[in-house]
Structure 1
Amino acid sequence: MTDLLAPILPQPDPDWAEAFRVPIIECDQPLQALGIATGFAVWPAYHRLGVPNAQPECYARTEVFERLLHAASLLPDGLRLVILDAWRPFAVQQHLYDTLYDILRQHEPEADPAELTRRTREFVAPPSTRAESPSPHLTGGAIDLTLCDSEGRWLDMGSLFDEATPRSYTRHYEAIAEPDEAQRRIRDNRRILFNSMSAAGFSNLSSEWWHYDYGDQLWAAHLGKPHALYGPAQVLALEQLWRQQLEGLHS
């Protein structure tokens, strides 16, 4: 039985160069729309926030969908997963990376560019469409999510989604020696999310309590897998679907 309140143990920070060297053996699972799922809620955050090119739907690979349903089934009565983002177009990844980098540079104009890059990468993965090293969200294997109660009230997780401060580090509240009642509640909310997702086979990005991976290179590197399952994916337009279907008839 999964102990949802087990402490979150220290995790290694991601080594992006190492992760991007993990080979990918694409399994060709399609992207699935998550919006009609009944096992969890979906709130496409970037679309709702007006980010250019953000999708009005959240998509994930088939196995990711199934594992989200499993994670949701482990939650205590009255709690639900809320999916905030999943598959992400490259244009959105580039926008998020460039925007955060520019804000950090404006806030600290004397900072070294290498340090600005390091800090940007804590919260936004390097944009990449390369077949051998795609950004995690471009694969359909990365998920951003939080928790809500049965009435749709979001639980207090101690920082905002995408907040670029140390409060967003997954273990931030584990490190408080004598937490007060509010801090204990936040810590326990993060533990519930972390332990349910871990039990379903996901890995967590240590700098983002909301970010989990399955099947991509970050997941494979974190869990010591010999290869990743997912390379770059694409939501096909109707014209592309028709072409693909017709080509299949004549192959």
Structure 2
Amino acid sequence: MITTLDGPIVIEPTVSPPPGVGVRECGEPLAEVAGVPGVHAAPAYHQRGITAAGPRIFVRRRVLAALQQASAALPDGIGILVWDGLRTLETQAEIVEQFRRTLPDPGDDATVEMYLALPPASQEEFLAAPPPHATGGAVDVTLCDTEGRPLDLGAEFDEFNERSWLAYYENDDRSEYRRLRRMLYWAMLGAGFAPYSWEFWHYELGTMVSAAFHGERFAEYGAAIPWRKP
């Protein structure tokens, strides 16, 4: 039971994929993020012209129920806006290459991997440790008003710099961004999600990262899309 949405954000840097965690696919079907009270969809990559990204957002069925639970924990007038969920490998590769072009060194994999999962090099790698968004268990979310308009949490979606780090505003006692990020953080954790330290918008449920966060040995969600080398 959530008793507060304003407690401090305390989180260790996230490692993905986490060591020592395996995958036991549960076979749960996908569901579209649509028609759920308090949960709005705004497919950001489609709207930004990523050619492989579609106009609809899909997640695992339990993830959708958990998003509704998180929304129900928020104050009146505030909901959850979903920017992305299930992502094809083609979409992942296109996003990675677009980000690389913004870096002084396009081959800087360490910086890329802080914010994005590199496309797997083989089917074996894909099945053993699928990118979180390929499982249907990862979502990119923010807070919104009742019309689905995003609130300002101090950084734009996919603004890959320090302002996007989950706890970036934690030391600013007067920050409205801190208040809103804490609100989103505790609502999502209360619904069972695991946070991601480098992006305030990224949360996971049933994935390898989520399993590690909750002290479990196996993820429930493996790849929800077929292997296809992008």
Task: Name the one with the larger helix percent.
Answer: 1
- Maintained 8 Å contact 1:8/1:174: yes
The answer to whether structure 1 residue 198 and structure 2 residue 197 are counterparts is no
2:156 equivalent in structure 1? 160
Alignment map for 1:228-247 (pairs within 5 Å): 228-234=219-225
After superposition, the C-alpha distances for 1:90-126 in whole angstroms (9 at most, x for unaligned) are: 101111112212321xxx24x9x4xx21111111122
1:86 equivalent in structure 2? 85
1:149, 1:22 → 2: CA distance? 37
1:151, 1:60 → 2: CA distance? 22
Cα-Cα RMSD: 1.7
1:239 equivalent in structure 2? none
1:127, 1:12 → 2: CA distance? 25
Alignment map for 1:135-154 (pairs within 5 Å): 135-154=131-150
After superposition, the C-alpha distances for 1:50-93 in whole angstroms (9 at most, x for unaligned) are: 10110111101011111111111100001010011000011011
1:172 equivalent in structure 2? 168
Relative distance call for 1:99 and 1:151 in structure 2 (3 A) is closer
Identity of aligned residues (%): 35
- Maintained 8 Å contact 1:216/1:229: yes
1:213, 1:55 → 2: CA distance? 21
SS of the residue 1:78 aligns to: coil
Give the CA deviation at 1:127.
Answer: 1.7
2:76 equivalent in structure 1? 77
- Number of residue pairs matched by the alignment: 221
The answer to whether structure 1 residue 122 and structure 2 residue 114 are counterparts is yes
1:244 equivalent in structure 2? none
- Maintained 8 Å contact 1:2/1:199: no
1:207 equivalent in structure 2? 198
Larger Rg: 1
2:8 equivalent in structure 1? 7
- Maintained 8 Å contact 2:17/2:209: no
What is the identity, as a one-letter code, of the residue corresponding to 1:126?
Answer: L
SS of the residue 1:150 aligns to: coil
Q: Which runs of 5+ in 2 are unaligned?
A: none
2:16, 2:177 → 1: CA distance? 29
2:180, 2:110 → 1: CA distance? 28
2:45, 2:148 → 1: CA distance? 19
1:248 equivalent in structure 2? none
The answer to whether structure 1 residue 226 and structure 2 residue 227 are counterparts is no
- Maintained 8 Å contact 2:81/2:148: no
Give the CA deviation at 1:223.
Answer: 2.3
Give the CA deviation at 1:37.
Answer: 2.2
1:28, 1:135 → 2: CA distance? 17
Task: Pick the aligned partner of 2:180 from 175, 178, 189.
Answer: 189
Q: Which runs of 5+ in 1 are unaligned?
A: 236-251
SS of the residue 1:84 aligns to: strand
After superposition, the C-alpha distances for 1:157-214 in whole angstroms (9 at most, x for unaligned) are: 00001101100000000033xx44xxx2111010110000000000011000000000
- Maintained 8 Å contact 1:80/1:148: yes
Give the CA deviation at 1:217.
Answer: 0.8
What is the identity, as a one-letter code, of the residue corresponding to 1:54?
Answer: A
* Worse overlay, 54-63 or 221-230: 221-230
2:18, 2:79 → 1: CA distance? 34
- Maintained 8 Å contact 2:71/2:187: yes
SS of the residue 1:13 aligns to: coil
